[in-house]
Structure 1
Amino acid sequence: MDPESQDYDFIVVGFGAAGLSAALSYAEASENWERPARIAVLERAPRAERGGATRWTGAFLRVDEQRNLDTDWVDHMRRVSGGLADEEYCRTLEQQTPETLRFLERHGVRIRFDDFPLPHTFHGGQPGMSAPASPDGGGASIVENLGNELEADPRVDVHYETEAFRLGLDDNGDVNSVLARGSDGRLRRLRGTAVVLACGGFEGNAEMLARYAGAGACDLPLIAPGVGNNRGDALRMTSELGADTAGQFDMIHAEPVDRRTDAADAVLYGFSYGIFLNGKLERFFDEGQNTWDNTFEHVGYEVWRNQNQEAYWIADAKTLSIPGIMNSLLSDVPPEQADTIEELADKLGVDPGGLDKAVAEFNAAIRPGEFGPFGFDAKHTTGLEPDKSNWAIPLDTAPFIGIPITAAVCFTYGGVRTDTSARVVTPSTTAIPGLYAAGEATGLFYHAYPPATSVLRSLIFGRRAAHHAAGFAR
């Protein structure tokens, strides 16, 4: 017997930035149709927890005040990926950024530009102190503004606590339905002329994470509760239809977080002026090799992959004196603070002699030069392994501060391959009729993630999917 069925024009799987922008854009595009379009949005979480990863992120946006994407970003993607990233996709993202942010603002999400205490390369690829952009209220603002608007639209049905199980095809091979399971455990078939998969990567699926990312994946905590709902559904369902993949499957976006707290997104960005030590109280990373935005992911990955998920960040009063520095330490627990290195070691639960030795060796290796926290200052060390390339200042002034660090997974790199209209494609680049995907369900990144673009690409390609599907339906 066929499961209970409902008919829609457009079915969206996922309630994060990609899914919300897709559903709302389709609603806009179909406003003047003779027959009102019917739209379904499926969300695995209950209403109070809706929004996936988007709900929990601060959502930096790599744009200037004219809403233009960083002019270096496409070239940056080519450099870090070794030419593997889809350049046409990246160019489309660049072109669509201004209009997509205007769309966001039309729907009540205010873009703000707040000062940040660290230099970044969000504008033109060179270190600078311009205020980075983000939604006022972070990603939660996107979820609430767009989500509430969809809930108020009589053409839209939001199905909470509903999992997408399988895609259905008509006799021609067009995707025409989603088989879904509700909280009662029963299956329902939602029929529609187009389906968008916007349900994230596979970081919430321990089996898939271990299969692709490798040994030790079970030790990765999730950076926020919402990413636990990213179970690889898009990848699983599309692989059954012969869809292609993109992105580096054995790489993840990991971030260094405070391991004293379970709070979401407790990321340490402001590490450049101190030092990292592993569980053996040995340095393992050049904290000054680049600006924080180009290194924080690599710190997180290194802590997980090679440092047994144990590290410590150590700094002193000179770091504390940098204006606004606490805004770059996102934990809800302040750093441990002490008048001596030995006292700090006790608070961190590490060997006082080992910590004192590590700090003394670092201090002795620092070369003369002027400390310049707002750009590369070439103040470095010599004779260490590894040396510190910039911002090498002695740790000799109380109070001394420290944070115990672990790595948390934020999203996965590998996913479904799409074209610039967000259509899911086969290895021959043939689009599968009626099937789209957007956001972190789709693969793009290789070797590194140039940050402040994840939410942005989700919004852009959710809209691209909706516009293409609405044009086809019309």
Structure 2
Amino acid sequence: MSDAHTNAPYDLIVIGFGAAGLSAALSYAEATADRETPARIAVLERAGEAERGGATRWTGAFLRIDRNKELDTDWAEHVSRVSGGLADIEYCRTVERETRATLEFVEKHGVEIAFEPFPLPHRFAAGRPSMADPASPRGGGASIVEHLGAALENDPRVDIRYRTEALRLTTAEDGTVDGVLVRGADGRTQRLSGRAVVLACGGFEGNPEMLTRYIGAKACDLPLIAPGIANNRGDALRMALELGADTAGQFDGIHAEPVDTRTAKADSVLYGFATGIFVNRRTERFFDEGRDTWDNTFEHVGYEIWKNQDQEAYWIADAKTLAIPGFLTSLLSDVPPEQADTLEGLAGRLGIDAEGLEKTVAEFNAAVGPGEFDPTRLDGKATVGIEPQKSNWAVPLDTAPFIGVPLTSAICFTYGGIRTDLSGRVVSPAGTAIPGLYAAGEATGLFYHAYPPATSVLRSLIFGRLAAQHAAAQA
């Protein structure tokens, strides 16, 4: 049911139409299916129907799982290690425990989990470099939006309200959350009464004011990795803080990714960079391209390009990289790399200084140490006597054709957000649950210093379900 306006109270109001919100609304519908009096559910979406789904709609949605649909056994400890012990380890173990059941839930609604070859190793398997095929929904996050969204559209108990902004949570005299003040497409406000509310409308990536407040200077220079993120305006954080909610996650931390500047395509990330080199606009190397597998590195590349390289970088490689089977699948752009028979010609196609590029490449080539090049593992083939070092996959760039991609950094999500308990209940600084209020997905904070990837969509689905199950049991 879509846009059915009524003043009768809802049993559940879900704010957001991405993975977390869809999972929450559909899980609640299923948990209350046998009730004599049908539960009423509202799903609020800031975007119009054609753009619904927030960040989920545009992501490839890698899943850090094995073929038994179990989470990487190292992930919880990995999060703890990179966060310096700041992250909620029990939250991470809950993700591990709930992964299989949650994936079975989305599969039941038509989302197919596929395992597709990838040309370079990752650490999605027990923390060890592996060439195992990584998983993702066939069709990416859009498959989640369309399949779970269709199930809600076909449920007469569900009202989907597009182009609806959440302005403020309302509370009863005892502090229990009992509804949401919203603004519709006509600009008018309305209070929706609800017995429980789930905040599932993302972080503050689409709000330049909040980005500047929390991550600081040059926040305005960060493009969005996908158009749906523009609707992630920090509404969940703002409304929860007004009620005294606690926070979690690093508020000056972001997940940023290196993307192709030649295209407007969403999520045009360069994952397969480890066998080449990065240079900035001065044609200087600035990063150890082989310090680890791509999944533990690409976020740091993105952050460095934004923070210290004036949002401009270039990736350079040669025929040895092109020869890696399936390599071009690691560039998600719809434009192939620039290509030339000489470095001078490549520099011309990229619009950078040819003499400077030739000098940098010559210095890099001279520093390449001994060893056998093997792009399927951490091969230890490193540079010697050059800064920054390249720790693996250091091979001379000396074989035509030469290839390159111009890059900038795009923001994907913010680290800081609302703190919840293991049932998805929003809590105060004392750890006390705020009655009637839940949150899930990127609206909730978790990460510090780094994001061990392929779990963002997964944790959103999981905690959307857990919040709904708790709310249904309370009702």
Alignment of 1:328-407 (within 5 A): 328-407=330-409
Alignment of 1:72-91 (within 5 A): 72-91=74-93
In structure 2, what is the equivalent of residue 33 of structure 1?
A: 35
Amino acid at match of 1:198: A
Give the Cα separation in 1 of the matches to 2:43 and 2:176.
20
2:458 to 437, 440, 456: 456
- Conservation of the 8 A alpha-carbon contact between 1:4 and 1:189: no
In structure 2, what is the equivalent of residue 15 of structure 1?
A: 17
In structure 2, what is the equivalent of residue 102 of structure 1?
A: 104
Q: CA offset at residue 4 of structure 1?
A: 8.0
Give the Cα separation in 1 of the matches to 2:253 and 2:228.
20
In structure 2, what is the equivalent of residue 229 of structure 1?
A: 231
In structure 2, what is the equivalent of residue 151 of structure 1?
A: 153
Deviations 1:256-291 (A, max 9, x none): 000111110000000000000011111110000000
Q: CA offset at residue 383 of structure 1?
A: 1.2
Where 1:319 maps in the other structure, the secondary structure is helix
Q: CA offset at residue 329 of structure 1?
A: 0.4
Q: CA offset at residue 47 of structure 1?
A: 0.1
Where 2:82 maps in the other structure, the secondary structure is helix
- Conservation of the 8 A alpha-carbon contact between 2:9 and 2:195: no
In structure 2, what is the equivalent of residue 417 of structure 1?
A: 419
2:327 to 325, 335, 348: 325
- Conservation of the 8 A alpha-carbon contact between 1:4 and 1:188: no
Give the Cα separation in 1 of the matches to 2:65 and 2:352.
42
Moved over 4 A (4+): none
In structure 2, what is the equivalent of residue 288 of structure 1?
A: 290
Give the Cα separation in 2 of the matches to 1:378 and 1:86.
34
Where 2:7 maps in the other structure, the secondary structure is strand
Give the Cα separation in 1 of the matches to 2:295 and 2:326.
17
In structure 2, what is the equivalent of residue 176 of structure 1?
A: 178
Alignment of 1:45-84 (within 5 A): 45-84=47-86
Residue-pair matches, total: 471
Amino acid at match of 2:456: S
Give the Cα separation in 2 of the matches to 1:32 and 1:287.
55
Gaps of 5+ in 2: none
- Conservation of the 8 A alpha-carbon contact between 1:193 and 1:434: yes
Q: TM (normalized to structure 2)?
A: 0.99
Q: CA offset at residue 368 of structure 1?
A: 1.4
- Conservation of the 8 A alpha-carbon contact between 1:6 and 1:189: no
Give the Cα separation in 2 of the matches to 1:61 and 1:401.
30
In structure 1, what is the equivalent of residue 264 of structure 2?
A: 262
Q: CA offset at residue 5 of structure 1?
A: 3.5
Where 1:58 maps in the other structure, the secondary structure is coil
In structure 1, what is the equivalent of residue 304 of structure 2?
A: 302
In structure 1, what is the equivalent of residue 443 of structure 2?
A: 441
Q: TM (normalized to structure 1)?
A: 0.99
Q: CA offset at residue 6 of structure 1?
A: 4.0
Give the Cα separation in 2 of the matches to 1:154 and 1:412.
35
Q: CA offset at residue 341 of structure 1?
A: 0.3
* CA root-mean-square deviation: 0.8
Deviations 1:146-197 (A, max 9, x none): 0011011000000000000000001111000000100100011111110000
Q: Does 1:200 align with 2:202?
A: yes
In structure 1, what is the equivalent of residue 247 of structure 2?
A: 245
Deviations 1:236-256 (A, max 9, x none): 001110000000000100000
Q: CA offset at residue 336 of structure 1?
A: 0.3
- Conservation of the 8 A alpha-carbon contact between 1:278 and 1:311: yes
